[in-house]
Amino acid sequence: MRDVGHGRAQHGHRGARRPAAEHGQPRGQKVASTSGYRLLALDLDGTILSANLQLDPRDVAAVKRICQAGIEVVACTGRPFPGAAPWVRRIGLDGPIVCYQGAQVRTLAGEMLLDHGIEHDLAMEVIRFARERDLHIQGYKDDRLLVERDRPEAHEYADHASMPINVVADLDVAMDATTPKLVIVALPAKLEALLPEVRRRWAGRLNAATSMPNYLEFTSIVSDKARALAFLCERMRIQQSQTVAAGDGRNDVTMIAWAGLGIAVEGSEPEVVAAADRTIPRPGHGGIQQLADLLIK
């Protein structure tokens, strides 16, 4: 297991390059009242929000404790901004939000700080790919969820994200010059079989990862949670080695690998756990409370 003290390598897509994660106290040097970390990038779904969208009051209290120790807590989520902001407020945060898998960074009031969408022609390649396979796919425009067909998969996603569905005749016409992300919603087994194919097909042109077992998400090749986190660190004058990132999905691997201390939720995919330094229990089982204990001395 590597030393979690400061001095991390520079940002890049390194994937599963760490030894197996484990529980335990970080070995970093204490600074002031904390372990020296200044920013926690916190995924929402599957990390602090349970599968049935429950928020444990004890986890909210733990986040408050982390903030009171002087550590900036930033929500880093694949959710669109309208589906993320209400949860961020409920957790008690008021700082910037990394949303749309890192394609955007916004203030809680909605001001755009960073915006890197998928170019239209490239987005249409993915949309045609999904159409040919009769897969549900959705795009976004001005924080609106756009679909071509009113399918059960659209309602599944919309209910989870607390967003209305907007049925359009043609995504080619309805979308802007860029879209923050594209999402294919399907059964987990189908997406597991599809993921290697789409990663090969758009290698070097798009990022593709599952955020949840039934969501396969595409973003610009320059958009992911790690790059958004690096942007915020530069803006806040926080060193990479002073960051912590916690998540559970494949879309969290980049920020977990990039951060000074990477945390995976127990039961995550092997590549997520392999990218982390240690693990915490799933939502509602004390994970965020353990994380607070790790960070606050």
Q: What is the pLDDT of residue 213?
A: 94
Domains 39-115+224-295 and 118-220 share a fold: no
- Is 70 exceeded by the pLDDT of residue 29? no
SS3 104: strand
E strand residue ranges, the chain: 39-42, 72-76, 97-99, 104-106, 112-115, 118-119, 136-141, 144-147, 165-167, 178-179, 182-185, 206-212, 215-220, 243-247, 261-265, 278-280
Rounded distance, CA 280 to CA 4, Å?
16
Check residue 209 and give its pLDDT. Answer: 95
Report the pLDDT value the prediction gives residue 222, as an integer from 0 to 100: 97
- Placement of tokens 């077992």 in the chain: 213
* Residues 178-225: tens digit of each pLDDT: 999 999 999 999 999 999 999 999 999 999 999 999 999 999 999 999
- pLDDT score for 34: 52
pLDDT at 7: 36
**Confidence grade of residue 35 (pLDDT, cut at 50, 70, 90):** confident
The Cβ of residue 76 has, within 10 Å, a number of other Cβ atoms equal to: 29
The pLDDT of residue 18 = 44
Q: Is 292's pLDDT higher than 80?
A: yes
Span 103-107, average pLDDT: 99
**What is the C-alpha to C-alpha distance for residues 179 and 149, in angstroms, rounded to an integer?**
18
Tokens representing 35 are: 């372990």
Taking only the tens place, the pLDDT of each residue in 160-172 is: 999 999 999 999 9
Would you kindly state where each structural domain of the chain is located, as residue ranges?
39-115+224-295, 118-220
pLDDT at 285 over 80: yes
| Predicted pLDDT at 297 | 74
Q: What is the DSSP string of 152-217?
A: HHHHHHHHHHT--EEE-S-HHHHS-SEES-EEEE--HHHHHHHHHHHHHHTTTTEEEEEEETTEEE
Instruction: Name the architecture of domain 39-115+224-295.
Output: 3-Layer(aba) Sandwich (3.40)
**pLDDT of 30 higher than 70:** no
| CB count in 10 Å sphere of residue 204 | 5
- Give percent of the chain above pLDDT 90: 88
What pLDDT is stored for residue 22 in this prediction? Answer: 39
What mean pLDDT is reported for the chain? 90
Where does the pLDDT of residue 24 fall: very low under 50, low under 70, confident under 90, or very high at 90 and above?
Answer: very low
- The DSSP code for 282 is P
What pLDDT does 12 receive? Answer: 42
Greater model confidence, 38 or 23: 38
What's the average model confidence in pLDDT over 133-142?
A: 98
CA atoms within 13 A on the CB side of 188: 4
Question: Is the pLDDT reported for residue 125 higher than 60?
Answer: yes
| Per-residue model confidence (pLDDT) at position 188 | 97
Backbone dihedral region for residue 215 (phi beyond 0: left; psi -120 to 50: alpha; all else: beta): beta
Domain 118-220 has CATH 3.90.550.10: no
pLDDT tens sequence across 243-275: 999 999 999 999 999 999 999 999 999 999 999
Q: Are 148 and 171 in contact (CB under 8 A)?
A: yes
| Residue 294 tokens, joined | 């790790």
